[in-house]
Amino acid sequence: MGSSKFDMDLSLKAGAYAPKNLTTLVTSREQRKPMIIPRYISAWCTSKRKRCFDLALSISALILFTPIMLLIGWLIKLTSSGPALFRQERVGLHQKTFIILKFRTMKHIDSRVDRGSKVTKQGDPRMTRIGVLLRRLKLDELPQLINVARGEMSFVGTRPKIPQHEFLYMLSRPGITGAATVVFSDEESLLADVPEHFVEHYVTSVLNPEKCRLDSHYIETARFSTDVRILMRTVFKLGNQPKSTWTPVPVLAPPAKSSMNRRPSISLVRADSVEVSTQEA
């Protein structure tokens, strides 16, 4: 991606927003795995204007969608046993964890005895009937409006991943949507042909590095117009829907090192312009 005058100016101006002793912010626990640290932070990512935008939009959306959320919660309780909301620890700003809220889309299993995969794929037998519909329409993410109102998340930002899947140092709040979310909107379909025992390894070694690259670029170059474009693409699905063109080959064991380094052909979205380009490594 070629650098523009805006990017160059942004790197100089926004550098002041980055912590001076950034390396000391990475704890010893996080140093056990390679962490991607953005070179600088855009002024928009850490601005009060972005927080005010998120707060005003989240409160308005909560007022608008509360009746729908109550109906969804009632349907979940009516059709399956267990709580209506799903709670899970995710990584937030400066690696501080928080509890993300979603509507439950899977059969309720005690978290103390659950040893299932943390990754969901298309046709997952753990899904409930109403859960399939909620995921397809993205309605399961409505409770995250509460996370945004609390200040734990933003409307647009980086992917809120679970701690063991996070390889990016979070210098901005995670978002309900974002550049990586738009690109990997068909992730469950992409994982459909990956063997069950290999899914989580495939996500952490192949997909997550691509997500981190997009998230890092967003942190470095985001501005108000970036968030507006990503929100428009998320809500109205403007332009071409980016999809992976690479089909995983079923394997019985992790492939050799040479094939593990193979990257899928993925449509990448520039976080600063939301333009689609195709790259194959």
Say what the pLDDT of residue 236 is.
72
**Residues of the domain holding 211:** 5-279
Query: What's the pLDDT score for residue 9?
Result: 42
The confidence score (pLDDT) of residue 48 equals: 95
| Bridging pattern class, strands 154-156 and 97-103 | unpaired
Q: What is the 3-state secondary structure (H, E, C) of 78-94?
A: HHCCCCCEEEEEEECHH
Identify the three-state secondary structure at position 119.
coil
C-alpha dihedral over 22, 28, 32, 36, to 10 degrees? Answer: -10
**pLDDT for residue 273:** 45
- CB half-sphere exposure, 133, CA atoms < 13 A: 6
- Integer Cα distance of 99 and 91 in angstroms: 9
* pLDDT tens by residue, 94-125: 999 999 999 999 887 765 545 555 566 555 67
The most distant pair of C-alpha atoms in the chain lies apart, rounded to whole Å, by 56
CA distance 245 to 217: 23
196-224 confidence digits (pLDDT tens): 777 778 888 888 888 899 999 999 999 99
Question: Rounded to an integer, what distance in angstroms lies between the CA atom of residue 106 and that of residue 83?
Answer: 11
pLDDT band at 192 (very low <50, low <70, confident <90, very high): confident
- Over the stretch 177-190, which tens digit does the pLDDT of each residue have? 999 888 887 777 77
- Other C-beta atoms closer than 10 Å to the C-beta of 57 total 17
- Measured distance CA(246)–CA(268) in Å, rounded: 14
pLDDT score at 28 = 40
> How many Cα atoms occupy the beta-carbon half-sphere of 61 within 13 Å?
18
Whose CA is closest to 105, among 82, 93, 254?
Answer: 82
Task: State the average pLDDT for the chain.
Answer: 75
Nearest in space to 175 (alpha carbons), one of 17, 54, 65: 54
3-state secondary structure of 55: helix
In this prediction, residue 100 carries a pLDDT of 97
pLDDT of residue 152: 97
Number of domains in the chain: 1
List, for residues 114-168, the tens digit of each pLDDT value. 555 556 655 567 788 899 899 888 899 999 999 999 999 999 999 998 888 888 9
pLDDT computed for residue 111 by the predictor: 56
Q: 35-92 pLDDT, tens per residue? A: 788 998 999 999 999 999 999 999 999 999 999 999 999 999 999 889 999 999 999 9
The residue that leads in pLDDT, 41 or 277, is 41
